[in-house]
Amino acid sequence: MQHGDVIRRLQEFETICRNRGVPITVQRRTILETLLRRHDHPTAEQIYESVKDHIPQLSRTTVYRVLDAFAELGLVRRLDHTGSARFDGNVRRHHHLVCTRCTRIIDLEDQRLDRLPLPHRTIEGFEVDDFSIHFSGTCADCRERKE
């Protein structure tokens, strides 16, 4: 994510926290900023590894809890395509290419997919408000390694 976008998203985060009465802490801000600057859809463990040196008293459990809370607030997206939860700082509509060998998740922007019509009427009482498509397959690196 571009630096300007990260700053804008952090401001949004503070507004959302204030509106919901969620305390804004250095821990939370650092965890969010770290995720926003990454493009690889990290696990909570990977986020913990990259922030733990900056926040000495941070526990693994806190990182897991904070990321889940962010997902609930709609600040980040939680992806469950690979067996372990992965986090995405990009909450705009986009899609994913998921490598079934190395579990890499690559962003896919495709306006044709974005324009898929949402069903207007509710299905089984379920009201659709958004969607994201994931394609599974083999990434370029894994394909090369096989040959």
Given candidates 66, 67, 98, 139, which one binds Zn ion under the rule CB under 5 A?
139
State in angstroms the smallest separation of the CB of 64 from Zn ion: 20
DSSP assigned state of 121: S
- The distance of closest approach from Cβ of residue 120 to Zn ion in the complex, given in angstroms and rounded to an integer, is 27
The count of residues interacting with Zn ion (CB under 5 A) is 9
Q: How far is C-alpha 140 from the chain's CA centre?
A: 22
Q: What are phi and psi of 55, to 5 degrees?
A: -125, 90
The answer to the question of residue 75 lying near Zn ion (CB under 5 A) is no
Stretch that binds Zn ion, among 1-9, 18-26, 64-72, 106-114 (CB under 5 A): 106-114
**What is the distance between the alpha carbons of residues 35 and 14, in angstroms, rounded to a whole number?**
16
DSSP 58-115: --HHHHHHHHHHHHHHTSSEEE-SSSS-EEES--SS-EEEEETTT--EEEE--HHHHT
Interface stretch with Zn ion, choices 28-36, 50-58, 61-69, 81-89 (CB under 5 A): 81-89
Quote the crossing angle between the two packed helices 26-36 and 3-20, to the nearest 10°.
140
Per CB under 5 A, the segment of 24-32, 44-52, 95-103, 111-119 that binds Zn ion is 95-103
Give 22 or 85: the residue with its C-beta nearer to Zn ion.
85
In the complex, the residues that contact Zn ion under the rule CB under 5 A are 88, 90, 99, 101-102, 104, 107, 139, 142
